[in-house]
Amino acid sequence: MFKSYSRNFWVMSFAMFLFMTSFNLILPELNQYISQLGGENQKGLIITIFTISAGLARPFSGKLSDLIGRKSVMFVGIIISALVCLAYPLFPTVSLFLLLRFIHGFSVGFMPTGATALITDILPSEKRGQGMGIWGTFISVGIGFGQIIGSWIFMKLGIIYLFMIAAITAMISGIMVFYVQETLLKKQRFNPNFLRINKSDVLEKNVLPVALVMLLTAFCSGVIFVITPDLSQFLKIENKGWFFGIYVIATIVVRLSAGTLSDKIGRRQTLIIGVSFLIASMILIGFAKTPIAYTFASVIFGVATGITSPTLFAWTADLSPNDRRGVGAGTMFIALEIGIMIGSLSTLLTYNNSLNSVPLVFLSAAFVAGIALIYLVWHILYKDSPT
């Protein structure tokens, strides 16, 4: 398998793993951190503000990656991530913390967009599903590893060192990207006019079916990011990243085979399977009353994302025109950010910082995922599509 993909692919995969680890290291402890600053009722904004800025960055990063190069866009995201992680301890008020979260979101708006466009450039179409499965595995491992080790670092060293380690991890990611070969053949020198955005720079219309499914399924992730640290505490699980640690083990097992499955039976058919697991996981998490039930639910969520995520990436690559892969990736990520944002915001309405409110939160998420399932069935029945 290692020889089937280029050096560029593997170096980028490890760089993305480190980048995802970086900003996920701090995530499990931010609920407690903002509470200590006096913002207990603003936990939902930790994710919401982050995703707003990430979404705002996507049209710029997508366009720029198609003009000035994939690597330049990635470096912007990495530098922002490292600097903001170092700045968090210097601004210990709720308003300034939320401002830094907003700035931090731009890092995710740039790095993954450029990276996904580069990966799409180098993957052969006949192995795109499998390749995206491997790529997605590195992303998921970064999320899970970051969250579970982040809580451990916090317990051993404290929040200041946690922020510092997150910044260093981002810097190492940047060093790895430096050694990646640029894939955009006709790079242009940066021009301020490139920052003028029109409708075609924001959305790639061919990718809209993927974007809708991504938005509806990402709603569930927005809920999970906000609630699971508290839910771990309710269930007396010391490590707030426990959910993600278990989830990532499950998703590693699933992702490689799921990518191959979508190459064989089709993207939409594979997504129907994944979204069905996602709905089940939302219901199981919502009604988990013991650590064992909670752990089992995290496994099912890992299976769901292990199937849906690489398939959505591969479907995006299928539908994106060759000269608009950056915009295509940006369109998908905009949908991801909007879904996470709406999901996290919904917790402000359904979650009251108590275990009793958790079932309603996750039943709402299951309902939204159900809409994605209905859409996929409709799309197969009534829309012509090669995948």
The per-residue pLDDT for 2 is 52
208, amino acid identity: L
Q: How far apart are CA 172 and CA 240, in angstroms?
A: 25
Q: Is the pLDDT of residue 130 over 90?
A: no
The per-residue pLDDT for 194 is 81
Radius of gyration (C-alpha) of the chain in whole angstroms: 19
Whether 189 is covered by a domain: the verdict is: no
Calculate mean pLDDT across residues 285-296.
92
Q: Is the pLDDT of residue 135 over 90?
A: no
The per-residue pLDDT for 386 is 52
The per-residue pLDDT for 1 is 52
Confirm if 249 and 144 have CB atoms less than 8 A apart.
yes
Cα-based torsion angle of the residue sequence 32, 242, 113, 101 in order, rounded to the nearest 10 degrees: 0
Q: Is the pLDDT of residue 64 over 70?
A: yes
Calculate mean pLDDT across residues 328-337.
84
Q: Is the pLDDT of residue 219 over 70?
A: yes
Residue 249 lies in domain: 2-180+201-382
Q: Is the pLDDT of residue 315 over 60?
A: yes
30 or 165: which carries more pLDDT confidence? 165
The per-residue pLDDT for 387 is 56
The per-residue pLDDT for 193 is 84
Give the sign of the dihedral formed by CA 105, CA 271, CA 137, CA 144.
positive
Whether 192 is covered by a domain: the verdict is: no
The per-residue pLDDT for 277 is 97
Q: Is the pLDDT of residue 30 over 70?
A: yes
User: Number of folded domains in the chain?
Assistant: 1
Q: Among all chains, which residue has been given the structure tokens 């690489």?
A: 310
* Helix locations, 208-241, DSSP H: 208-234
Q: How far apart are CA 232 and CA 243, in angstroms?
A: 8
What are the tens digits of pLDDT across the range 226-240? 888 888 888 888 777
What are the tens digits of pLDDT across the range 247-275? 888 888 887 666 677 778 888 999 999 99
CATH assignment at residue 13: 1.20.1250.20
What are the tens digits of pLDDT across the range 93-122? 888 989 999 999 999 889 988 998 898 888
